[in-house]
A and B are shown apart, each in its own frame.
Chain A
Amino acid sequence: MITLTHYLILTGLLFAIGLVGVMRRTNLLMLFFSTEILLNAVNIGFVAVSKYYGDFTGQMFAFFIIAVAASEVAVGLGLLILWYKRNGSVDLNSLQMMKG
């Protein structure tokens, strides 16, 4: 039997993977993937809790997040392609322009 705990453990694991990705990866594309993993980890959590309580608000939220993430990725990828065309690289270290 798959209980809420299992779902939440899955969420936690996915979120951790996403976090490690955000921290370790230097490729901008990979960074986008990591963010998507983070967002979807949260989505799973929302849906699981929503199902558990029989309240649809959580699932509604999940849809909102998917929609927002999709548009964000669309803009982000657009910028990424532009950057790639200019610099020939999407490495984060090449994006370093402001330094304190």
Chain B
Amino acid sequence: MEKYLYTALFAPLVSSLFVALFASRPKMLFTGVIASILIAISMVSSFVLLIDVNTHGALHVNMMDWIVAGNLYIPFGFVVDEVSVIMMVTVTLVSTVVHIYSIGYMDHDKSFNRFFSYLSAFVFSMMILVMSDNFVGLFIGWEGVGLCSWLLIGFWYHKHSASWAANEAFIMNRIADLGMLMGLFLIYWNVGSLQYEEVFATLKDLDSVVVATIGIFLFIGAMGKSAQFPLHTWLADAMEGPTPVSALIHAATMVTAGVYLVIRCGELYSMIPDVGFAIASLGAFVALFAASMALVNNDLKRIIAYSTLSQLGYMFVAAGLGAYWIALFHLMTHAFFKSLLFLGAGNVMHAMHDELNIKKMGGLYGSMKATAILMSVASVALAGIYPLAGFFSKDKILEVAFNEGAYFLWFALFIGAGLTAFYSFRLVMLVFFGEKEYIKHGFHPHEAQPFVIYALLPLGLLAVIAGWFEHQFEGFTTRLLARYEIHISHGIEIVLIGATLCIAVGGIAFAIYKYQRGGFSKTWEEGFFYKLLSNQYYIPKVYELYIMRPFTMLSQFVWQKIDMKVVDFTVDSIARTIYKTGEKSRKMQSGNLSDMLRWMVVGMVVLLVLALFYRPMA
């Protein structure tokens, strides 16, 4: 089985390195095809491992020693257990679809080959992240996906906004990674090892304050990667990247790494329920906060990005309250329908020549039936309507919040579910139905190539059926993760499900009703709330005014005053001194033998004096 493990892990690396050979050449179709095949091989291996883990249990290999210094021992070790294999399957499945899709999407891009190299490198980093059996390997993968995310957001680097967004994402993550590093240092300091097994085995002996500190620091890292408040602004701006990137990295896989970290450290977080509750509260806040921003946005991709943010909040609620398998379940189902939604949005963008304003679309159903159906399915799944995937996972999270007695969190999530349904269908209505606004703007939309649509079908299927495997999923993952008992009586459970379904259906119905009649009137857009929401609560402005500007001023001061006048001056004066000395002593080389002989005598005298006074240490 080790062979399959190594295949699953290294096929993306081979793909990335091979395609990188052609990175600066013009488009070559085979790079995309080979990358897709290699990622598909990785996916098949992951599925084989899934079956193997199901029958034989976890697989643990030590590839080789990596860092052996004093008491520090870190191997290149990989573990395929119930959690990591679920992540592997999800990541490789979505990646395969996205790779195939990208062949169509990036068709006219002159950096076609480079794109596939980056995309495969991302998959490799993500595999390292989920498969590592120690925190350092996880951190390497963590940084690797951060790097690939930076490369891919800034893929069209000649666009100022793209390179700005790439830097923003990277810097935000850097702030959070500092927290994560602190957590790792604390773990090593207190435990003396970074292997998951040893760390979790020794945690019980540690002081609870230390455990809580470690938990908080690790969660700061997770907040950055999963774009939780207040580090959330980068995710919406990351939509500057090509749409397949948004689908793979900023919806399905990388942003869920934070949730994965909390799930992986479940044993740690279950020891500190207060921190867990704080995580859940933050998650619920983000779920509502992001959903409200999605309500009024007119940018096709940003709406879906805010929706991702909101769903990540849901996952953190489940993980924070100790329902780790439910968080993982929602992570998986969300990966399927959210990537489908994004890839569908990519088709729409292509049809509309990269136009993103949904107010300029409308009535696209006529020309893009397949995409419209797939996106509607994904939206229904996202809204959580029975029997699609989102219903099962999201409803479980609401039940968990209710079960824990956190009625306030439950209420926030409940409202969030209604908002989710509303903004999903606002998007569907504005894009695919209603007035054909695009005619006024002179667009001629056309459906994507057939193979692109076929590539999306597996995701469409999974968005429908993934939820049906809830019980198998629970049985499988709770072999490793903590079980979660729900104590609500059956009657209340039915009422809860009914209420959630009602608010979701209500949201959908309201959106359809309202937007069939041309949407809200213009006066709404003058209102305070509309402005607050469409300006993202003015948070980017606040960041710019109170963080970026002072920091820029500080940087300028440091640059012009400290760097130029102190550091550079010192270095320059050393150089100048040496230069001047050379200029002066050049005259020694007069070419006159007499002068040289005199200098020779001087040298001899100096050496003699040294010989007289120098006493070597006895």
Q: Which residues of A come within 8 Å of B, CB atoms?
A: 19, 22-23, 25-26, 31, 92-93, 95-100
Q: Name the residue among B586, B588, B593 with the largest chain A CB count within 10 angstroms.
A: B593
The range of chain B's interface size is 10 to 19
Q: Could you tell me if A96 and B601 are in contact, using CB atoms closer than 8 angstroms?
A: no
Q: Could you tell me if A99 and B594 are in contact, using CB atoms closer than 8 angstroms?
A: no
Closest to A99 in B: B591
Q: Could you tell me if A22 and B588 are in contact, using CB atoms closer than 8 angstroms?
A: no
Contacts of A99 in B (CB 8 A): 589-591
Q: Could you tell me if A100 and B587 are in contact, using CB atoms closer than 8 angstroms?
A: yes
Q: Could you tell me if A97 and B594 are in contact, using CB atoms closer than 8 angstroms?
A: no
Contacts of A92 in B (CB 8 A): 592-594
A22 to B597, CA, bound (A): 7
Contacts of B440 in A (CB 8 A): none
Q: Name the residue among B587, B588, B591, B594 with the largest chain A CB count within 10 angstroms.
A: B594
Contacts of B588 in A (CB 8 A): 100
A94 to B480, CA, bound (A): 94
Contacts of A25 in B (CB 8 A): 594
Q: Could you tell me if B586 and A100 are in contact, using CB atoms closer than 8 angstroms?
A: yes
From A22, A31, A93, give the contact of B592 (CB < 8 A): A93
Q: Which residues of B come within 8 Å of A, CB atoms?
A: 586-594, 597-598, 601
What 6 pairs between A and B have smallest CB-CB spacing? A100-B589, A99-B591, A98-B591, A96-B591, A92-B593, A92-B594
A36 to B591, CA, bound (A): 23
Q: Could you tell me if A23 and B594 are in contact, using CB atoms closer than 8 angstroms?
A: yes
A23 to B595, CA, bound (A): 8
User: Could you jot down 10 A-B contacts, CB within 8 Å?
Assistant: A23-B597, A23-B601, A25-B594, A92-B594, A95-B592, A95-B593, A96-B590, A96-B593, A100-B587, A100-B590
A61 to B13, CA, bound (A): 72
Contacts of A31 in B (CB 8 A): 593, 597
Q: Could you tell me if A96 and B587 are in contact, using CB atoms closer than 8 angstroms?
A: no
A96 to B596, CA, bound (A): 11
Contacts of A96 in B (CB 8 A): 590-593
Closest to B602 in A: A23
**Minimum CB–CB distance for A23 against chain B, Å:** 5
Q: Could you tell me if A23 and B593 are in contact, using CB atoms closer than 8 angstroms?
A: no
Q: Could you tell me if A22 and B601 are in contact, using CB atoms closer than 8 angstroms?
A: yes
Contacts of B592 in A (CB 8 A): 92-93, 95-96
A98 to B590, CA, bound (A): 7
From A19, A23, A26, A97, give the contact of B591 (CB < 8 A): A97
Closest to A100 in B: B589
Q: Beyond A26-B594, A95-B593, A100-B590: 17 further Cβ-contacts under 8 Å?
A: A19-B601, A23-B594, A23-B597, A23-B598, A23-B601, A25-B594, A31-B597, A92-B592, A92-B594, A93-B592, A95-B592, A96-B590, A96-B592, A98-B591, A99-B591, A100-B586, A100-B588
